[in-house]
A and B are shown apart, each in its own frame.
Chain A
Amino acid sequence: MPDAPGQPPAISLHALVREFRGRGTPMRALDGVSLDVAPGEVFGIVGRSGAGKSTLLRCVNLLERPDSGTVTVLGQEMTRLDEAALRQARRGIGMVFQHFNLLSARTVAGNIAFPLEIAGVPRAEREARVAELLPLVGLEARRDYYPAQLSGGQKQRVGIARALASRPRILLCDEATSALDPETTEEILSLIRSIRDRLDLTVLLITHEMAVVKAICDRVAVMEAGMVIEQGRVFDVFTRPAHPTTRRFVSEVIGHVVPPGTVARLPDPNPGEERRLLQVLFAGPSSTRAVVSEASRRFGLDLNIVSGRIDAIGSEPYGLMALAAYGPPNAIEEASAWMRSLGLDVSDIGEDPA
């Protein structure tokens, strides 16, 4: 579904700059951010605290007005709209918050109906819509509860139902699962995914957890100091992170390929030979065992599998393996080149991988 070629992006951010002038020097929360989100995709933005994620997300519905740059949502240039038109446009963009932001004085049903009330939808229609949404988020039995009587996960379900009430085509999630425990996080993420699949919805979410990205995003952008330092398909970013920050993020989920302390336990190379640590990444169905043994035979190398794992991102399986290669330097080079020619991603990770 994501990345249908030729379709205009659902959300297009161009050269966004947002500066906050505090007491001291002005600080750039956004420093020239551009990105496109394709219709129907779940796009994640990760970054450390203070990277500018929330500011970026709030620019999409102009809760935060960028100092310069343009925001285009569903073909409409948000940055040009007057107040009334902007309010209208916001009704087509649902938003889910880390701390739920529910009205404490209203019941579950009252909260879900709230955006419809704001939009002037007649009572009967509001009630019908609430009756549709309650089962979607599994809260039929909690219809008349107040937020204070709900668990965090239930509150977030209300938040999601409320965000969907006016049938938006865009859903913005600001750390929607950061206040929840891992199990509830899982629940909410699969709810968001199933909603995306069932409704014609584009999701832009921000998080500081790579696990969230891995679980539901199609593409991801990594932010640091108000800039996007890397973006691409989640699979690509996870399997071939380019930027050191991204690598650190990825390792939170994927883990170190070479467990610490491994190198010290490896035998020393024979005289005239060399020992190198290679990381081999294979995506798809290539059989690595055969590759390893064949490379060993062909190039006269000793190849030890130091560590390895097979996992999937979305529905794409991948394997990540660390090899300790022993042999003449040029033979190791040749073997690497040969494996690359087979479509494997081989990199020399040195002896002291961070």
Chain B
Amino acid sequence: MIPWLPPALTDLLIEAAWQTLLMTFGGAVIAIIAGLPLALLLHTTGPGGLLPNGWINRPIGLLVNAIRSTPFIILMVAIVPFTRLVAGTSIGTTAALVPLALAATAFIVRLFENALREVDRGVIEAARAMGATRTQIMARVLVPEALPGLIAAITVTLVGLVGYSAMAGAIGGGGLGDLGIRFGYQRFMPEVMATVVAILILFVQGLQSLGDWLVRRFSRR
């Protein structure tokens, strides 16, 4: 299929691409699902928020920062017991999803929080003046108004996950990055490395363009 690679490697490449997709999108989906409520919680309980509360805000903020400042390769190893608990195993693509999702969540929470903070305070005040509940303000004002920013945050996270997933090979996660290292570097097959890098570049470009297009699509400013 790929003329300059032996057929067996093509199969491996396809499998690895599939693993990368799974780790990237799987990690992102979990990060979005976990990250948005957390970001809303941080925003709401933060200073000047709808319901300021340092006892909730500070510990969560600290935890998020701690995860973000731990290098991913260390995080992966450090949470092995947790990974085993969640995924039932500590090696393989599914197991790699656990640290990926965790790191991506901590990453996206701050980006989401920034996007929410960009929402004009006056609009929130207007909603309060209309008698909106906090839930209504979050669901109908904060999230829709921040949507372009949230989409941009998701794009950045996806691109970041593509990079992180390359390290997942360390715990048998597979993926394109792992393939590139094993064949391109360790077995000295530069054509494999080049192919892997080319695919990754195309992939990231595609993600970025899609994200930018969506941001424009939802941006009404």
Contacts and interface: CB of A to CB of B under 8 A. Distances in A.
Contacts of A114: 127, 130, 140
Nearest to B145: A105
Contact of B131 (A102, A118, A148): A118
A118 B123 CA distance: 14
Contact of B130 (A90, A99, A147): A90
A117 B220 contact: no
A115 B128 CA distance: 10
A81 to B, nearest CB: 11
Given A103-B123, A105-B220, A87 B132 contact: yes
B193 interface: no
Interface in B119-151: 120, 122-123, 125-133, 136, 140-141, 144-145, 147
A103 B141 contact: yes
B145 A104 contact: yes
Contact of A105 (B122, B125, B218): B218
Contact of A115 (B120, B130, B221): B130
Nearest to B124: A101
Majority-rule SS of B interface residues: helix
Of the candidates B122, B126, B136, the one having the most CB atoms from chain A within 10 angstroms of its own CB is B126
Of the candidates A104, A115, A119, the one having the most CB atoms from chain B within 10 angstroms of its own CB is A104
A148 B220 contact: yes
B125 A101 contact: yes
Contacts of B144: 103, 105-106
B132 A118 contact: yes
A118 B120 contact: no
B221 A118 contact: no
Interface residues of A, number: 30
A63 B128 contact: yes
B140 A104 contact: no
A97 B126 contact: yes
A147 B220 contact: yes
Contacts of B127: 114, 118
Contacts of B141: 103
A146 interface: yes
B129 A93 contact: yes
A162 B131 CA distance: 13
A309 B38 CA distance: 65
Contacts of B136: 118
Interface string A94-122: 01010111111110000000110111000
B53 to A, nearest CB: 16
B145 A117 contact: no
Contacts of B125: 63, 97, 101
Contacts of A146: 220
Given A103-B144, A118-B136, A87 B218 contact: no
Interface in B92-131: 120, 122-123, 125-131
Contacts of A162: 126
B130 A102 contact: no
Of the candidates B122, B123, B131, B218, the one having the most CB atoms from chain A within 10 angstroms of its own CB is B131
B134 to A, nearest CB: 10
Given A91-B131, A147-B220, A105 B126 contact: no
Interface string A146-190: 111000000000000010001000001000000000000000000
B123 A102 contact: yes
A282 to B, nearest CB: 44
A61 interface: yes
A101 B122 contact: yes
Nearest to B146: A105
Nearest to A92: B131
B19 to A, nearest CB: 37
B145 A87 contact: no
A91 B145 CA distance: 22
Given A87-B131, A90-B131, A95 B221 contact: no
Given A87-B133, A104-B221, A105-B220, 11 more contacts: A61-B129, A63-B128, A90-B131, A102-B126, A104-B145, A104-B220, A115-B131, A146-B220, A148-B221, A166-B130, A172-B129
5 contacts: A87-B131, A89-B131, A90-B131, A103-B144, A148-B220
Interface of B: 120, 122-123, 125-133, 136, 140-141, 144-145, 147, 218, 220-221
Interface of A: 61, 63, 86-91, 93, 95, 97, 99-106, 114-115, 117-119, 146-148, 162, 166, 172
* Nearest 10 A/B pairs, CB to CB: A90-B131, A101-B122, A87-B131, A101-B126, A115-B130, A95-B129, A91-B131, A146-B220, A105-B144, A118-B132
